[in-house]
Amino acid sequence: MGRGYLIRKVLHAFATLFFVVAFNFVLFRVMPGDPISLLTRSERLTPADVAELQAEYGLDQPLPAQFVNYLGDTLSGNFGVSLRSGLPVSTLVGERVWPTFLLVGIGTVLATVLGVLIGIKGGWNRGSRFDTRTLYGSMVLYSMPEGWLGMLLLITFAGTLGWFPAGGFDTGEETGFAAVIDIANHLFLPVLTLTLGYIGEYAIIMRSSLLDTVNEDYITTARAKGVPDRLVRRRHAVPNAFLPTFTLIFLSFGYVLGGAIVIEVVFSWPGLGQLTYDAINQLDYPVIQAIFLLTSAMVIAFNLAADLTYGLLDPRVRHA
C-alpha cells in the first residue's frame, strides 16, 4: 500500500475528529435552555449563587475562552463533571461501556454473520423459495421500528410467557457461573431485538452485491471450466461480492459504542444509550458532549480502519 495513501487517510481522519470536537462544543452551547438554571431550578438561588455556579462551571467566560479550556480538558481526558450528579463524566461514561459493548457487540456480530449467510444463499439461488421469503422477511424486519419490535418481544416473552426478565443487566444477586447465566438471560431479548433489526440490512446488501457479481465474466469462465457450483460461489463470487458488505460491517462496528439508545431504554439496559437518553432529558451537557465525542471518534476510527483494510483486500484501490 502506498505510503501516500496511508498518510492521506490518517490525516483526513484526524481533521475530521478535530472538526467533530469543535462542532460538539458549539452545538451544545447554542442549544436552548441554560444548564445552570436547570441544575438549580429546585433551589431558586440568589443571583450571587448563580454567578458563583457559573464561575465554577466556567460558563461565565467568553465563548472562545471556554472553547480553549474545553480543548485542553478534552485532550487530557478531563470531561468535567455531570451537571446533575456532580460525579466525574469519565467515571459515568466508563462504567457504561461494558454493558453496551456486550449488547451491541454480540448483536452486531450475530446480525452480520447470519445476515451475510442468508444474503449469500438467497442471492445465489435467486428466485428460489428461500430467496423470496428471506428477501421479504429482511425488508419487513429492517423497516420495523426497533423500539416497537423490542416492546413486542418484551410484552410477549417477558410478560405473557414470562420466559425472560423484563429488563436490567442482571439481578445482582448471583455469583460465579450463575451470574453469567443470569446476564445471558437478561441479554437475550435485547440482543434478539438488535439482531432482528439489523439482520435485514446485511442480508439485502450481500444479496444484491452477489447478484452483481454473478454476471461477471470470470464467473462464467469458472462455470465453463466445470468448477462445482459451491466452489464457484465460495472462491470467486463471494470474495468479490463481499467488499461493499465489508465496508458496511466496519462502519456498523464504529457505531457499537454509540449504543442502541432505543433498545437500551426499552429493556432498561444500563449502557451508553441509556446514559445518552437520560443526559439529553436532563440537559446534562458534559455527559452528552463526552458520549457524542466518543461515538464520533469510534466511527472515524473504524472508517479509517475500513479504508486501510479495504486497500489490503482490493488491489485496485491500493494502486489507484
Partner 1 sequence: MRRTFGNAALAGVLLLLGLAPVALAQTGEETAPTEDEVVLRVGTILDLSNDNPWGVVGGYDWGVATTQYDMLLQFSDEDLSPAPGLAEGCEPNEDRTKWTCMLREGLKWSDGTPLTSEDVAFTFRFAIDNSISVYRSYFPFNPTFETPDDRTLVWKTEQPTFAPDLPPWVYIVPEHVWKEYDGADKKEIKSAPNTPSVASGPFTLTEWERGQGWTMERNPYFWGPEPVVDRIEFRVFDNQEAMVQALKNGEIDIADALQPSVFRTLEGEEDIATQKVISDWWLNLAFNFGGQSKDADPHPALHDRTVRKAIAMAIDKQEIVDKVYLGLANPGDTIVREASTYWHLDIPADQEYPYDPDAANAMLDEAGYLDTDGDGVREDPESGRPFELLMPASDETTGAVEAGQLIVGYLDAIGMQVELQPSSDGKMDDYWGSGDFDMYIWYWSGDPDPNYQLWVFASGQCGSWSDGCYSNPDYDDLYYAQTSIFDREERREVVFEAQEFIYRDLPGVVLAYPSWLEAYRTDRFTGWTPVPGENGYLLPTYNYNSLLTVQPVAGAAEASSPGLPAWIWIAGVAVIGIVVWRVATRGRRERDLEA
- Residues between 93 and 122 that touch partner 1 (CB under 8 A): 95-96, 98, 102, 106, 109, 113, 117
**Contacting residues for 83 by C-beta, under 8 A, at least 6 apart:** 35, 38, 39, 57, 282, 283, 284, 285, 286, 287
Of the candidate residues 1, 17, 158, 211, the single one contacting partner 1 (CB under 8 A): 158
Closest CB to partner 1 among 10 and 180? 180
Long-range contacts of 28-33 (CB under 8 A, 24+ apart): 28/285, 28/288, 28/289, 29/63, 29/66, 31/283, 33/283
Of the candidate residues 76, 143, 175, 215, the single one contacting partner 1 (CB under 8 A): 175
Q: How many angstroms separate the CA atoms of 6 and 1, rounded?
A: 7
Q: How many angstroms separate the CA atoms of 311 and 19, rounded?
A: 25
Of the candidate residues 181, 212, 218, 319, the single one contacting partner 1 (CB under 8 A): 181
Indicate the angle between helix axes 238-254 and 285-313, nearest 10 degrees.
Answer: 160
Q: How many angstroms separate the CA atoms of 218 and 224, rounded?
A: 10
| Shortest CB 300 distance to partner 1, Å | 24
| Shortest CB 244 distance to partner 1, Å | 15
Of the candidate residues 4, 62, 64, 86, the single one contacting partner 1 (CB under 8 A): 86
Phi and psi at residue 59, to the nearest 5°: -90, 0
Q: Which three cell numbers stand for residue 63?
A: 465563548
What is the DSSP secondary-structure string of 252-294?
A: HHHTGGG--HHHHHHTT--SHHHHHHHHHHTT-HHHHHHHHHH
| Shortest CB 94 distance to partner 1, Å | 11
Q: Does 151 help bind partner 1 (rule: CB under 8 A)?
A: yes
| Shortest CB 318 distance to partner 1, Å | 16
Q: Does 177 help bind partner 1 (rule: CB under 8 A)?
A: yes
Q: Does 49 help bind partner 1 (rule: CB under 8 A)?
A: yes
Count of residues making up the chain: 320
CA-atom Rg of the chain in angstroms: 24
Of the candidate residues 56, 63, 145, 221, the single one contacting partner 1 (CB under 8 A): 56
Residue 207: burial class (beta carbons within 10 Å; 0-12, 13-18, 19+): buried
Of the candidate residues 35, 190, 254, 259, the single one contacting partner 1 (CB under 8 A): 35
The interface with partner 1 within residues 231-260 (CB under 8 A) comprises: 231, 234-235, 238-239, 242
| Shortest CB 126 distance to partner 1, Å | 20
Of the candidate residues 174, 220, 312, 315, the single one contacting partner 1 (CB under 8 A): 174
Q: 153 with 164: CB under 8 angstroms?
A: no
Q: Does 315 help bind partner 1 (rule: CB under 8 A)?
A: no
The interface with partner 1 within residues 262-301 (CB under 8 A) comprises: 264-268, 270-271, 274-275, 277-278, 281, 283
Choices 130-138, 179-187, 206-214, 297-305 (CB under 8 A): range interacting with partner 1: 179-187
Q: Is 176 helix (H, G, I), strand (E, B) or coil?
A: coil
Of the candidate residues 178, 220, 244, 312, the single one contacting partner 1 (CB under 8 A): 178
Helix-, strand-, coil-residue percentages of the chain, each rounded to 5: 75, 0, 20
Of the candidate residues 28, 67, 188, 255, the single one contacting partner 1 (CB under 8 A): 188
Q: Does 153 help bind partner 1 (rule: CB under 8 A)?
A: no
Choices 12-20, 61-69, 177-185, 196-204 (CB under 8 A): range interacting with partner 1: 177-185
Nearest to 102 by CA among 282, 275, 256, 245: 256
